[in-house]
Amino acid sequence: MKKILIAVLVLAAVAAAAWFGVVRKPEQARVAQAVQEDRPDFEAQGVLLRQLDAQGKLQYEIEAERVIQLANGDVQASRLSFHHQPPPGSRRKPQRWNLTAENGDFPAEGGIVQLSGNVRAEGREDGDRTPLVITTESLQYDINGEVVTVTAEVDITDGGNNFKGRGARVNIATGIVTVESGHGKISL
């Protein structure tokens, strides 16, 4: 998974570098004179990255205005949409989760994604007409554990049910939502 993501990111970087080399103006040459360790391994704008599993099924994709890969392999994205398809082994059968944010940090080794700035996470179980919607300023999404964790102010809506408060944990695999504190409205 990591190798495929890195290969896709490297290809995007090569394409961006080629384009940059063709249309760059001489006064922009100062960027190339920056100290090497201060620059990311690559940077690309207007990017769509897709990560497939060993069987070729889409695991997740990132569509972002700007993506950089740091020397340690971590990826940072800005103004992004992140889509994740939980694995077939999940006890519940949700459709893919769609998350949007101003910023995202994706560790090279996978695992926990950090999203911040106007975060919106939306997921819907197959056959369910209403999505579970989470809005907050920051959250962590554990891809492998299928858990969304929010420590900031949060607004969770599921059909006619709404919760506003601070802190929440959503287990995507089981459908269990745990809240720290706040108030809500439940429709029966």
**Structure confidence by residue, pLDDT tens digits, 34-56:** 444 555 677 889 988 887 767 87
Mean pLDDT of 47-70: 83
Mean pLDDT of 163-183: 85
Mean pLDDT of 166-186: 82
Higher pLDDT, 72 or 19: 72
Q: What is the pLDDT of residue 32?
A: 45
Which domains does the chain show, CATH number per domain?
2-185 (2.60.450.10)
Tell me if 61 sits within 8 A of 31, measured CB to CB. no
**Structure confidence by residue, pLDDT tens digits, 1-32:** 555 656 555 555 555 555 555 555 544 444 44
Whole-angstrom Cα distance, residue 177 to residue 17? 44
3 state DSSP class of 74? coil
The one-letter code for the residue type at 33 is: Q
Q: What is the pLDDT of residue 90?
A: 55
Whole-angstrom Cα distance, residue 8 to residue 12? 6
* Cross-strand pairs, 96: none
Q: What is the pLDDT of residue 111?
A: 80
**Structure confidence by residue, pLDDT tens digits, 105-163:** 988 777 899 999 999 999 877 677 788 899 999 999 998 888 999 999 999 998 888 88
Mean pLDDT of 54-77: 85
How far are the Cα atoms of 26, 42, 82, 112, 170 from residue 35, in angstroms, in the given order?
Answer: 19, 14, 32, 30, 43
Nearest Cα residue to 92 out of 167, 151, 177, 187 = 177
Instruction: Please say if the pLDDT value at position 181 is more than 60.
Output: yes
Whole-angstrom Cα distance, residue 103 to residue 149? 16
Q: What is the pLDDT of residue 104?
A: 94
